[in-house]
Amino acid sequence: MGRRTFELVLAFALGACVTQLVGFFRATGGGKMLSAAKVRLPSAQDAALPSAASVLAVCDAARRHSDGALIACIADHNSLHMALSWVAAVRALNRSFAVFAVDSEIRAELVRRGVPTIGGEGVPPADMRMTWVKTKAGGLAPNERFAKLGGLRSHVMIALLRAGCEHLLFTDADVLFSGDPVPFVLRFSDEAVRPGPVLVSSDFLNTNMSARADGQLEDPQVSAVYYAAWNVGLLYWHRSALPALEAWHKLVVDTPEQWEQALIRTALEDKPRRTVRPALASRRLFTGFNGTTSIGVLPVDRFCNGHTYFVQRLPQRHRHEPIAVHPTFLPTPGASKMHRLREATLVDDPPEYYSPPQGVLAYTPRVRLDLARPSGVMGVEAHMAMVHEQLSQLRSAWVLAQKLGRVLVLPTLTCGLDRLWWEINGTIPGTDTPLPISPCPADLVLDLEVLMRNHGRDGRLVAVREYSFLQNPRLPAELRTPITLPRPPSSLDEASLLPLRAQLAARPAAPLLFGEMPPDLYEKLPPSERQQTERTLLVWAAFWCCTKRQNPKVRGAVWYDIFWDQPGHVDRHGRVWNESWRVILGP
C-alpha cells in the first residue's frame, strides 16, 4: 500500500548510464559550490542528465531568494498534465523552482511554456511505467527496468546540492501544493540540527494527536510513525545531509533490483535506534546514517498521502489547510490519480475544460444513510445496497445527459466501507476513518481506467466531470448560476423534454442542476437505446474489496453492478440475474 506510480523514461543503455552518472557527479566537486567553468559538462552518453550549467543556473536563482530554497520535481512525457499543475501551484507560491525533464518531449513543452527546465535534451520518450512483479521470494517489487532507473532521482538531487542549493525540496510531479511548504520545513532546519535535516513524507495513516494539535513533525517515539514506510515522492534535504544522500544513491545503484523507496530507510536508518540528543528530540527529530544526520517525518495531515487526504480527510476534519497532497493508496495507478486531484480542485486544466460548450448536468444524490453501520457493524450487504441505489441514480443521470447532449457531473458518492487490497472490517486498522465515507472518491466505486479509455481524450474525461466541478474556483462566472429544477421530467419522450429544452435554449451554457434523480429513467428508453446504454454502462462499476473468503481460490471482492435492479440482465462477467441481486464473491 502507498505505492507511488511515478513514470520515468530513459533511452540509453542502463549499464553505461550508471558509470557515466557516477563519473559526472564525482566531477562536480564533492559538495563544494562550483562555477560552470569548473563543472564538467555532460557528454552525449549523459543525455538524460541536466547540464552542469543548467543546474548551477537554478541554484543561483534559488540563492537569490531570501531563504535560498529550491522546489524541484521530476517528470516525463506521460506526466505532462500533472507537471503543468505542479508548475502552476509552485508559481503561485512565488518560489524558485525547476522541473527535471527526463525526455525531450516533455522538455520541449515545458521550455515552450517558459518553465525552468533541466535535463531531457536529446532523450526520446519511451514507456517505462512502473508495474509490480512477483519476486522469487514471493513478494512484490517494481519491474526491473523501472527499478534500474531509481537512481536518477538521487543523481539529480546530489547535483543540485553540490551546485550550492542550500535547501532542496524534491518531489514527484503528482505532489501538488495547496500551501507553501518552505516555511514549515525551515522551522526544523537550523544550525542546531546539523548535519541535516532530512525530512521525509510518509505512508503513515493516522497522524499522532500532538502533531495534529500543534503542526509539528510526527512523533518518532510512536512506533507506528517510526516504522511506517517513508515515501520518496516528497523529500527535503539540507545541503549538510549530502553524505547521507550519496549513501542512499550508491545503494540504489548497487542494488538495481530493489526499489529506491525501500532502500532509503536501509541507507539512513540506525539499527538499533540511537539515543537522540535533547535539541533534536524536542523537535521530534531523530538521528540516522550512523548517528550523524538528523531526520524527521513530515505530518501526514499537512503533507498528505492519498488516504489521509481523500478518505480520512484529516485536514478537512481538523480544519486546517493541507500543504501538499500526494495521491497514493489508489485502487488503480493511472486515471485514478488525476481524477482524485481534480476532485480536490488541485489540477490546473486549460480553460476549455471548465466551460464545455454543450453545458453540464448535475444532480443531488439521494443516499440511504439508514444503511450506515446497522447495529454498530457495517455489513457488506448494507454497503452494497447503499452504493447500488446511488448507481441507479447515476444510470438515470447518464441517460438524461445523453438525451440533452450535456456533460454529466458525477455525483458526490457515499461509501459505507473503505476499500483495500486485502480483508478489512470496514476500515484499515489504525486509521481514523469515519463511516460512511462522504465524499467517497469516485475510484472506490467506478472503474476510472475504463471511463478514461471509453470517454477520455488527452488525459481528461470528456463525457463526465468530477463531483467538485461546480465548486472549482477556476469555473467561469457564467457557469456559477445554474438552472435549478426539483427533478427531471417523468418521461423521456420529446413532448416531455420540450419544456426543458426551451429553458436550456435561453441559457445554453448554464449548468442544469436537479434536486434529485429518480432511479428508473433507463427503463423508459426504447429497447434499442436501452441496449446501447447497457453496453456503455455495464463496465463503469468497479468492485469492493475485501471480505473474508470462504473459498481460498476466490478473492473476497464483490463487484458493483450498475444494473443490479434489472431482472434478467447479464453482468460484466456474463452472469445472468433472473433473481434479486445478492452478494457473490469474485471473480
- Predicted confidence pLDDT, tens digits, the chain (587 residues): 333 322 222 222 222 232 222 332 322 333 333 333 333 323 333 456 788 999 999 999 999 988 999 999 999 998 999 999 999 999 999 999 999 998 999 999 999 999 999 999 988 886 555 666 776 766 666 666 565 556 888 999 999 999 999 999 999 999 999 999 999 999 999 999 999 999 999 999 887 655 566 679 998 888 788 778 899 999 999 999 999 999 999 999 898 878 899 899 999 999 887 778 888 999 999 999 999 999 999 999 999 999 999 999 999 998 889 999 999 999 887 899 999 999 999 999 999 999 999 999 999 999 999 888 765 566 899 999 999 999 999 999 999 999 999 999 999 999 999 999 888 888 888 888 999 999 999 999 999 999 999 999 999 999 999 999 999 999 999 899 999 999 999 999 999 999 999 999 999 999 999 999 999 999 999 999 999 999 999 999 999 999 887 777 788 899 999 999 999 999 999 999 999 999 999 88
* Any domain includes 157: yes
* One domain for residues 314 and 354: no
Residue 384 covered by a domain: yes
Q: Which of 89, 93, 87, 39 is nearest to 69 (CA)?
A: 93
8-state DSSP, 518? -
Q: Tell me the C-alpha to C-alpha distance, in Å, between residue 576 and each of 257, 346, 395.
A: 46, 42, 19
How far, in Å, CA of 413 to CA of 168, rounded? Answer: 39
Domain boundary among 318, 338, 373: 318
Looking at the domain assignment, is residue 385 inside a domain? yes
Q: Count structural domains, the chain.
A: 2
Task: Report residue 313 as a C-alpha cell.
Answer: 480527510
**Residue entry with cell 524541484:** 72
Tell whether 302 and 426 lie within a shared domain. no
* Cell numbers 497532497: residue: 325
Q: Is residue 9 part of a domain?
A: no
- Is 587 part of any domain? no
Q: What local confidence, expressed as pLDDT, does residue 200 receive?
A: 97
pLDDT at residue number 548: 81
Measured CA to CA in angstroms, residue 305 lies from 22, 154, 348, 566 at distances of 32, 21, 20, 39
Q: What is the CATH number of the domain that holds 237?
A: 3.90.550
**Half-sphere exposure for 470 (CA within 13 Å, toward CB):** 23
Q: What is the pLDDT of residue 19?
A: 27
305 and 372 share one domain = no
377 and 263 inside one domain: no
Taking the CA atoms of 449, 455, 460 and 463 in sequence, report the sign of the dihedral they define: negative
The pLDDT of residue 251 is: 94
Where does a domain end: 318, 336, 360?
318
Residue 458 lies in a domain: yes
End position of a domain, from candidates 300, 318, 336: 318
Cis before 545? omega within 30: no
472 and 540 share one domain: yes
Query: Furthest-apart CA pair in the chain: how many Å?
Result: 79
Query: Is 339 domain-assigned?
Result: no
User: CB under 8 Å to 14, separation ≥6 — which residues?
Assistant: 145, 148, 149, 256
Domain shared by 302 and 379, yes or no: no
pLDDT at 63 (0 to 100): 93
Beta carbons of 462 and 353 less than 8 angstroms apart: no
Give Cα separations from 302 to 147, 213, 332, 333, 549 (angstroms).
29, 12, 24, 23, 37
The backbone torsions φ and ψ at residue 579, rounded to the nearest 5 degrees and listed phi first, read -125, 180
For residue 365, give the H/E element and its range: none
Structural contact between residues 86 and 173, judged by C-beta atoms closer than 8 angstroms? yes
Q: What span, in angstroms and rounded, lies between the C-alpha atoms of 167 and 182?
A: 9
From the number of C-beta atoms within 10 Å of its C-beta (0-12, 13-18, 19+), residue 261 rates as buried
Indicate if 312 and 185 belong to the same structural domain.
yes
Q: Show the DSSP H helices in 372-518 as ranges.
A: 380-404, 448-455, 494-506
Is the same domain home to 273 and 363? no
pLDDT 10s digits, 142-192: 666 565 556 888 999 999 999 999 999 999 999 999 999 999 999 999 999
Q: Helix, strand or coil for residue 198? A: strand
Residue 586, phi then psi, degrees to nearest 5: 85, -175
CA distance 438 to 369: 11
Same domain membership, residue 284 and residue 373: no
Distance CA 4, CA 233 (A): 7
Residues 353 and 302 placed together within one structural domain of the fold: no
What is the Rg, in whole angstroms, of the alpha carbon atoms belonging to the chain?
26
Cβ neighbors of 267 (< 8 A, separation 6 or more) are 244, 247, 248, 251, 289
- Give 3-state DSSP helix, strand, coil % of the chain, rounded to 5: 40, 15, 45
**By residue range, what is the domain housing residue 541?**
349-577
* 384 in the same domain as 517: yes
Distance from C-alpha of 389 to C-alpha of 219, rounded to nearest angstrom: 43
Site of grid cell 421530467: 489
| 238 and 314, same domain (yes or no) | yes
Query: What pLDDT score does 130 carry?
Result: 61
Q: Which of 467, 457, 453 lies closest to 536 in space, CA to CA? A: 453
**Which domain CATH number covers 455?**
3.40.50
Whole-angstrom CA distances from 238 to 53, 170, 450, 517 are: 21, 11, 43, 55
d(CA 86, CA 68): 20
Are the CB atoms for 303 and 324 separated by under 8 Å?
yes
- Residue by residue, DSSP assigns 448-489 as HHHHHHHHEETTEESSEE-TTGGG-TTS-GGGSS-EEESS--
Distance, in Å, from the CA atom of 178 to the CA atom of 344, rounded to the nearest integer, reads 10
Pairing of strands 464-465, 407-409: parallel
Q: Is 437 helix (H, G, I), strand (E, B) or coil?
A: strand
Report the C-alpha gap between 146 and 6 in whole angstroms.
10
Answer yes or no: is 299 within a domain. Answer: yes
End-to-end CA, the chain: 22
